[in-house]
Amino acid sequence: MESVSLHCTKCHKPFRADQAVFRCDACNEPLEAEEISKGRIREGNMLNQTIWERYGDFFPFLESGFKISLGEGFTPLAESRALAESLGMQGIYFKNESQNPTWSFKDRGTSAGIMHAKGLGYKRIGTVSTGNMATSVAAYGTASGMETFVLVSKGISQEKINPIAIYNPHLIKVDGDYGELYFESLRIGKENDIYFVNSDAPMRVEGSKTIAYEICEQLGFDMPDYVIVPTSAGGNIRGIEKGFREFRACGLIDRAPKIICAQALGCSPIYAAYKNGSEEISRAEDPHTIAHAIENPYPPSGNRVLKLLRQNGGISAAVSDEEILKAQALMAGEGIFGQPASAVPLAVVIKLKAEGILKGNEKIVCIVTGSGLKYTAALEMHELKSSECKLKELGNFIKNL
Ligand SMILES: *Cc1c(COP(=O)(O)O)cnc(C)c1O
Ligand SMILES: [Zn+2]
């Protein structure tokens, strides 16, 4: 643990990794773990191995003993040949994160965060979320025997609260500004010995590196041109970019793919800053999109994401709700049902192709961050069909379809 440290993503101030620190006390920007530049993939059978074992060299913080895994990661990378052909693209792949224990990629970072917290002696874990992260922390918190605190906003619907409550955490509806709650939770956590593994906590970012590692292995280390990540707080896209960067530093791949930060037009603070050539995000006013999972008006890692796009040669794009719903249906046509936020990458492919930014000779990986069953209200917005007939007439009915 000693040899590895965290540093501020803006002023580079160093921090020790053997303590729970989340943001820089000098400039309030997020912290990041040191880049791993020496490591290899461990051999072994993935049926009896966890992602933490296979990629152990890249997680020096987590060596301390306690392990928690519910089988997160090792998710499929499905190629859609028909879709690539109809869109005029060289290759389209879906990294299907809905196949995690609580049906979203959040489980990777939750697992990493809890292992880190336990290693530091914490007995309490917490998060601020109304969606997938809340479910994930509630599940992993209870499975690892930690006292678990989930802070949600007061207006949360029953449909959203039940899948969190089933794991029986301290589930607290907080009346107040939800954006402020993120920063407030870090202060309260410090006072009450609760390790808050929020959206862009350094260990959550570390957990997302495994998405990149798996893509490298799944493509036989032949890198795609672009990886598209639906982005809210910015934790996941940071982890994915870092994962490719580390594999490159270790000589496992010879180039890193370009990263595309994908947002919904109804809440696109990173895209807005990118378009203006600004180095800092501004709060998005009046956020509204069907892609609730990426509806953060003031992403805590927004500035870091802008910088990584500049360094990586990546871009930012945003699409309308209409485009998102269309993409959700198209993906379902390929057998993959993602929640609206998870359809944003495909909508971005279609948009960038129409604008000529994508030429058609590219190989693209879309990150399907969470399951379509997480937000069934979106189903009402599709024209879904079924038909009906009498049993006696079924044979003829089918012949005449
Ligand atoms: C959390 C989440 C995101 C956004 O990830 P960030 O790390 O906050 O940028 C995207 N899609 C889904 C389904 C999510 O749950
Ligand atoms: Zn700083």
Sequence-ordered list of residues with C-beta below 8 angstroms from that of 269, at least 6 positions apart, any chain: 263, 281, 282, 283, 284, 296, 297, 298, 299, 302
Pick the residue whose CA is nearest to atom 2 on ligand 1. 293
The angle at the Cα of 233, spanning 229 to 239, to the nearest 5 degrees, equals 55
Closest ligand relative to 26 C-alpha: 2
Ligand 1, pocket-test mutation among 130, 136, 236, most atoms within 8 A of CB: 236
Give bridge partners of residue 321 from the DSSP assignment: none
pLDDT score for 392: 97
Closest ligand relative to 10 C-alpha: 2
Q: Locate the ligand 1 atom nearest the alpha carbon of residue 230 and give its number.
A: 10
The answer to whether the CB of 129 is under 6 A from ligand 1 is no
pLDDT score for 401: 92
Say how many Å lie between the CA of residue 215 and the centre of ligand 2: 32
Say how many Å lie between the CA of residue 209 and the centre of ligand 1: 14
Q: What is the DSSP letter of 284?
A: P
Query: Given a cut of 90, is residue 397 above it in pLDDT?
Result: yes
Average pLDDT over residues 207-218: 98
Q: What are the tens digits of pLDDT across the range 296-322?
A: 999 999 999 999 999 999 999 999 999
For the chain, the structural domain boundaries read 77-103+202-381
CB 265 within 8 A of CB 324: no
CB 107 within 8 A of CB 99: no
Query: Given a cut of 60, is residue 2 above it in pLDDT?
Result: no
* Helix locations, 250-356, DSSP H: 269-276, 302-312, 321-332, 340-354
Sequence-ordered list of residues with C-beta below 8 angstroms from that of 299, at least 6 positions apart, any chain: 200, 231, 232, 233, 234, 269, 270, 281, 305
Rounded Cα distance between 199 and 211, Å, is: 16
Percent of the chain with pLDDT over 70: 99
b/e per residue, 123-149, with b = 16+ CB within 10 A?
Answer: ebbbbbbbbbbbbbbbbbbbbbebebb
Rounded Cα distance between 87 and 354, Å, is: 10
Range of lowest pLDDT (16-20, 216-220, 266-270): 16-20
Closest ligand relative to 267 C-alpha: 1
Helix axes 202-218, 235-249, angle to 10 degrees: 60
Pick the residue whose CA is nearest to atom 1 on ligand 1. 293
Sequence-ordered list of residues with C-beta below 8 angstroms from that of 43, at least 6 positions apart, any chain: none
Q: Locate the ligand 1 atom nearest the alpha carbon of residue 231 and give its number.
A: 9
Query: Given a cut of 70, is residue 4 above it in pLDDT?
Result: no
Say how many Å lie between the CA of residue 24 and the centre of ligand 2: 5
The CATH number for 77-103+202-381, chosen from 3.40.50.1100, 3.40.50.300, 3.40.630.10, 3.30.70.20, is: 3.40.50.1100
DSSP-based three-state secondary structure for 275: helix
Q: What are the tens digits of pLDDT across the range 67-78?
A: 899 999 999 999
Rounded Cα distance between 138 and 142, Å, is: 6
Rounded Cα distance between 28 and 235, Å, is: 16
Q: Locate the ligand 1 atom nearest the alpha carbon of residue 296 and give its number.
A: 8
Closest ligand relative to 339 C-alpha: 1
Tokens describing residue 174: 């907080």
Say how many Å lie between the CA of residue 302 and the centre of ligand 2: 14
Q: pLDDT band for position 1 (50/70/90)?
A: very low
Tell whether pTM > 0.95.
Answer: yes
Say how many Å lie between the CA of residue 342 and the centre of ligand 1: 9
The answer to whether the CB of 233 is under 6 A from ligand 1 is yes
| 228 closest CA partner among 309, 301, 289 | 309
> Tokens 């209409």, residue?
322
Q: What are the tens digits of pLDDT across the range 335-390?
A: 999 999 999 999 999 999 999 999 999 999 999 999 999 988 999 999 999 999 99
Say how many Å lie between the CA of residue 344 and the centre of ligand 1: 11
Average pLDDT over residues 253-273: 98
Ligand 1, pocket-test mutation among 104, 110, 197, 228, most atoms within 8 A of CB: 104
Rounded Cα distance between 320 and 90, Å, is: 25
DSSP-based three-state secondary structure for 78: strand
The answer to whether the CB of 309 is under 6 A from ligand 1 is no
